[in-house]
Structure 1
């Protein structure tokens, strides 16, 4: 039974990787609406960023965000992209598989999100006094 679940996890990981590559290609396509493009870039930035919204050293929650947020964001991003664009991107990703590198832009975006969240928390906390 463990072998079967191990195979499933590897298959899901390969599919996730292929979909992230296809998403990267589709986000660059001019036929992709700006909302889908913006969401795709946010998902890619988060997935490729070396830091997470919830750091991995926090027990359970640290890995849960990787297991839930990335697939959920990817699912929504893929739904926002026109089917013809997505199909073409998936074909190109399958024909030319490559690794997506860690992203300095993703790191920068995540740092900005952290700063914005901390600023919002500080404003909220200051207003309560």
Structure 2
């Protein structure tokens, strides 16, 4: 019986390690997308979609709040990776390769900081909340 417990623990560690590797890879892909949507070789629609994916991934606000059991994490586990996958397909391969090299270089030196992008993301979410609030108020008044 004691031999079963170490096997389960090793298996759990393996799963945890795989999840950590997956999350690290996803974060790296998001950084690649962050750099790619700013590249002039990327079409406007790919830039727009990529910007929305990156903004949603880094935003603390989710469509489905995390406190809702199971459903709350579905957007993080399904929507973000799906969006990343689609965005990567929209961007030219040479742009992706250049951005991957830049991410590798930055990971050895420092993390990217773009306060302008952060302010834009926050402004977009504020506008969405104002719009939703007005819709709710107008619905309640009728």
Q: Normalising to structure 2: TM-score of the pair?
A: 0.75
1:24 and 2:17 aligned: no
> Would you say the 8 A contact 1:28–1:37 is kept in 2?
yes
Highest relative contact order (Cα 8 Å, sep 6+), 1 or 2? 1
Listed as ranges, the gaps of 5+ residues in structure 2 are: 1-10
Listed as ranges, the gaps of 5+ residues in structure 1 are: none
Out of 85, 89, 109, the residue aligned to residue 124 of structure 2 is 109
> Would you say the 8 A contact 2:106–2:112 is kept in 1?
no
Q: 1:117 to 1:65 in 2, by over 3 A?
A: farther
Deviation at 1:111, TM superposition (A): 4.0
1:65 and 2:113 aligned: no
> Would you say the 8 A contact 1:45–1:106 is kept in 2?
yes
Deviation at 1:109, TM superposition (A): 2.4
Asked which structure has the greater CA Rg, the reply is: 2
Q: Normalising to structure 1: TM-score of the pair?
A: 0.82
Count of paired positions: 126
1:76 and 2:86 aligned: yes
